[in-house]
């Protein structure tokens, strides 16, 4: 049996039709026509619909509701009838799903006023045309690959095929996915990996763009715009030119013609996502041009069509000499982009990872967020659990993301300015800011490999729509919708596991902000020194005297100096630097005492023992859910928890032994540490 996510046509019909609601649409002109293609509403209208608004019990209407965003809506009960009103038909899509969700949650559906926190709410797929997904942990791509095939090519080891082979063609699954995304407010999706290799380079030209268009049409029906990642070197690789210089007229003409043809095939195409001069991808540096030159070349080509270019700030030197203690990968985004502030076109967006390194279990806010003053920005998250347990270990990420976006950016004139407000303030065009996140879905029956990893996709959408929600509220919502038939106590057990899971994972994978102690080949499991003495960066510098990276201005890499003055002052001082990030910013002796009175070494031991204890507790509590939730979900999570336990034990024992050997300091509680 295929295990769907909470929202599917059956659920919608149950929630709406079984109660014999009568839905009508009081839309006008163009809007009425476009609303009818918004799939679910259109389907619902076919049956319980009455065309006379006077007798409808639910009315969807386009009208001015006086909200800032044209995606916002209001829901009110007027004379016994529920009215969902928004300025555009897109708003009605969100209003409709919101109403549905509230009904399913048993929440009041009156006096609702809702509009999104972020205008762009995007999902980025790292799907590749061979069907594999870079950093994907839930099976093959839902877009690419062959029907029913289990083939797994290595990245780059992909024979060129014809178009019919490259696209999976499972439109039903794409439609289910689009519905799900729309239901949590997502309005943009990029289909392919930012590392654009081999066949994927050709997705932007005929005949493949016509196949992309088939997918884009499905997303359009749910008010979601489709984007593609492009290879900066495409003019050379597939265009027959001998340069990709962003200031060269022939290169610009090639991109213009390519973009024009894309819009012929996909009139509401969103635009491009570009990873350039990063981890081996080509970019403007090869021509002595800046990243603004590169981004603006795409922006020019897209502009007349209303398209945008999303340019990634994830640019760093992955050929570092570990011998040079001044080199610091954390500094890279700021160093590469800060001086370009104000130089990007109005329809260009700079997309910045929320932390300065790379989606680690524990990272401070990227200092570039706060430093740009005249640039459209998006913040990037990763729903796929690359460094957060591969959807084997349970890890509900909302606490981490929400903490990041609520951190002071330091850009306010008086007081705290969180990320949401800051993006608006820095924008050249306030409609072109938002959040993006790397997708975590695939062809696995339950979409995300680990059933509970669905909560991250749901939660990401909810956070983009309303970033004032708490992580716990979002978790509770997801559990009630997904395990709707389970008793309250069972739902609470699942919510508790989700709520505590991010801390649990961090407790064994990243003590005190120290990071990157992961296995080199796949970023799962413990590999304490796998990235030490390495061209990709050095991250913990443990020696016999202490541990952590000295990023101070006074004696370290100088990274802290990239933050606004007051924030930098707090971080620079080891006494005022938050303990949770201590080892990210400072190299301290093992005997250094934390604010709670524990020493650093004792904290490392304690959290690693506690991490395994928590996983044992998850296993105990999950066992009580047998026969109280569906068998498949029960078995899926039970199996993953056993694997997580093995992982947590390995982390505990390797880390504790390593740091015992480094420090020579015993555990104050005398627990078993292998010598």
Q: Does 314 bind ligand GCW (CB under 6 A)?
A: yes
Q: Does 524 bind ligand GCW (CB under 6 A)?
A: no
**Does 102 sit behind a cis peptide bond, omega within 30 degrees of 0 on the bond before it?**
no
Q: Does 134 bind ligand GCW (CB under 6 A)?
A: yes
Q: Is 42 left (phi over 0), alpha (psi -120 to 50) or beta?
A: alpha
- Other C-beta atoms within 10 Å of 207: how many? 11
Closest CA to 112 of 69, 83, 81, 80: 83
239 vs 283 by CB, closer to ligand GCW: 283
Q: Does 275 bind ligand GCW (CB under 6 A)?
A: yes
Angstrom distance (rounded) from CA 45 to CA 23: 7
Asked if residue 121 lies in contact with residue 187, where contact means CB atoms within 8 angstroms, the answer is yes
Residue 126 Cβ, how far from ligand GCW at the closest point, in Å? 5
Q: What is the sign of the dihedral through the CA atoms of 40, 44, 46 and 52?
A: negative
350 vs 547 by CB, closer to ligand GCW: 350
Angstrom distance (rounded) from CA 427 to CA 486: 45
In the region spanning residues 364 to 393, those forming contacts with ligand GCW, defined by CB under 6 A, are 386
Residue 395 Cβ, how far from ligand GCW at the closest point, in Å? 16
Segment lying near ligand GCW (by CB under 6 A), choices 188-196, 341-349, 502-510, 555-563: 188-196
Give the residue at shortest CB distance from ligand GCW. 358
289 vs 312 by CB, closer to ligand GCW: 312
Q: Does 197 bind ligand GCW (CB under 6 A)?
A: no
Active site residue 279: yes
Cα-based angle 26, 30, 31 (whole degrees, multiple of 5)? 45
Name the DSSP class of 599: B
- Other C-beta atoms within 10 Å of 575: how many? 6
99 vs 359 by CB, closer to ligand GCW: 359
- The stretches of 222-248 forming alpha helices (DSSP H) are 234-237
Q: Is 537 helix (H, G, I), strand (E, B) or coil?
A: coil
352 vs 474 by CB, closer to ligand GCW: 352
Residue 30 Cβ, how far from ligand GCW at the closest point, in Å? 39
Active site residue 532: no
135 vs 300 by CB, closer to ligand GCW: 135
3-state secondary structure 284-316: HHHHCCCHHHHHHHHHHHHHCCCCEEEEECCCC
Residues in the chain: 675
Angstrom distance (rounded) from CA 93 to CA 259: 29
Q: Does 194 bind ligand GCW (CB under 6 A)?
A: yes
Active site residue 358: yes
Name the DSSP class of 54: G
Segment lying near ligand GCW (by CB under 6 A), choices 190-198, 302-310, 341-349, 396-404: 190-198
Catalytic hit among 83, 175, 358, 408: 358
Q: Does 317 bind ligand GCW (CB under 6 A)?
A: no
Please pick, from the candidates 192, 195, 467, 557, the single residue that binds ligand GCW as defined by CB under 6 A: 195
Please pick, from the candidates 126, 208, 222, 272, the single residue that binds ligand GCW as defined by CB under 6 A: 126
Catalytic hit among 107, 160, 279, 522: 279
Segment lying near ligand GCW (by CB under 6 A), choices 24-32, 156-164, 193-201, 541-549: 193-201
Angstrom distance (rounded) from CA 377 to CA 430: 9
Q: Which residues bind ligand GCW (CB under 6 A)?
A: 126, 134-135, 193-195, 275, 314, 358-359, 386
**Residues designated as active site:** 279, 358, 386
């Amino acid at each position: 049996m295929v295990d769907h996510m909470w929202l599917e046509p059956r659920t919608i019909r149950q929630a709406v039709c079984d109660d014999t609601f009568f839905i009508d649409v009081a839309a006008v002109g163009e809007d009425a026509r476009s609303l009818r293609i918004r799939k679910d509403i259109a389907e619902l209208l076919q049956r319980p619909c009455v065309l006379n608004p006077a007798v409808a019990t639910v009315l969807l209407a386009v009208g001015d509701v006086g909200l800032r965003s044209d995606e916002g809506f209001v829901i009110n009960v007027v004379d016994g009838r529920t009215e969902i009103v928004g300025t555009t038909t897109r708003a009605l899509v969100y209003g409709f799903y919101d109403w549905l969700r509230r009904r399913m949650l048993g929440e009041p559906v009156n006096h609702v006023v809702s509009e999104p926190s972020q205008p762009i709410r995007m999902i980025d797929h790292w799907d590749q045309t061979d069907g594999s997904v870079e950093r994907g942990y839930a099976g093959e791509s839902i877009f690419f690959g062959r029907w029913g095939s289990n083939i797994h090519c290595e990245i780059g080891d992909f024979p060129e095929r014809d178009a019919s082979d490259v696209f999976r063609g499972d439109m039903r699954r794409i439609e289910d996915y689009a519905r799900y995304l729309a239901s949590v407010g997502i309005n943009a999706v990029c289909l392919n990996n930012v590392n654009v290799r081999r066949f994927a380079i050709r997705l932007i030209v005929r005949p493949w763009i016509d196949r992309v268009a088939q997918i884009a049409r499905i997303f359009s029906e749910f008010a979601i715009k489709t984007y593609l990642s492009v290879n900066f070197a495409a003019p050379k690789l597939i265009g027959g030119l001998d340069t990709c210089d962003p200031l060269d007229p022939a290169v610009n003409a090639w991109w213009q013609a390519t973009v024009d043809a894309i819009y012929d095939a996909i009139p509401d195409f969103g635009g491009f996502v570009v990873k350039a001069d990063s981890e081996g991808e080509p970019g403007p540096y090869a021509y002595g041009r800046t990243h603004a030159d590169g981004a603006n070349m795409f922006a020019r080509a897209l502009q007349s069509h209303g398209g945008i270019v999303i340019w990634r700030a994830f640019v760093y030197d992955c050929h570092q000499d570990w011998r040079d203690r001044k080199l610091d990968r954390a500094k890279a985004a700021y160093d590469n982009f800060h001086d370009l502030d104000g130089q990007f076109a109005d329809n260009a967006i700079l997309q910045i990872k929320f932390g300065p390194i790379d989606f680690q279990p524990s990272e401070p806010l990227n200092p570039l967020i706060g430093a740009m003053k005249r640039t459209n920005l998006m913040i990037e998250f990763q729903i796929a659990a690359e460094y957060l347990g591969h959807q084997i270990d349970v890890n509900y990420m909302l606490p981490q993301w929400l903490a990041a976006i609520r951190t002071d950016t330091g850009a306010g004139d008086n007081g705290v300015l969180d990320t949401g407000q800051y993006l608006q303030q820095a924008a050249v065009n306030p409609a072109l800011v938002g959040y993006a996140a790397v997708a975590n879905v695939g062809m696995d029956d339950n979409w995300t490999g680990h059933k509970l990893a669905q909560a991250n996709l749901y939660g990401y959408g909810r956070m983009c729509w309303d970033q004032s929600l708490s992580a716990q509220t979002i978790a509770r919502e997801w559990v009630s919708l997904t395990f709707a038939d389970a008793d309250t106590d069972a739902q609470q057990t699942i919510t508790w596991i989700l709520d505590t899971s991010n801390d649990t994972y961090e407790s064994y994978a990243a003590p005190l902000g120290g990071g990157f102690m992961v296995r080199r080949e796949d970023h799962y499991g413990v590999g304490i020194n796998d990235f030490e003495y390495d061209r990709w960066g050095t991250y913990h510098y443990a020696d016999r005297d202490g541990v952590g990276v000295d990023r101070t201005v006074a004696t370290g890499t100088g990274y802290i100096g990239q933050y606004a003055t007051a924030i930098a002052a707090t971080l620079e001082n080891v006494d005022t630097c938050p303990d949770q990030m201590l080892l990210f910013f400072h190299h301290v002796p093992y005997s250094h005492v934390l604010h709670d009175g524990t020493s650093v070494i004792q904290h490392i031991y304690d959290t690693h023992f506690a991490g395994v204890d928590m996983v044992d507790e998850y296993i105990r509590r999950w066992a009580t859910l047998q026969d109280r939730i569906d068998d498949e979900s029960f078995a899926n999570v039970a199996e993953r928890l056993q694997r997580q336990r093995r992982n947590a034990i390995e982390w505990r024992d390797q880390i504790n032994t390593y740091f015992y050997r480094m420090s020579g300091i015993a555990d104050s509680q005398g627990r078993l540490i292998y010598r």
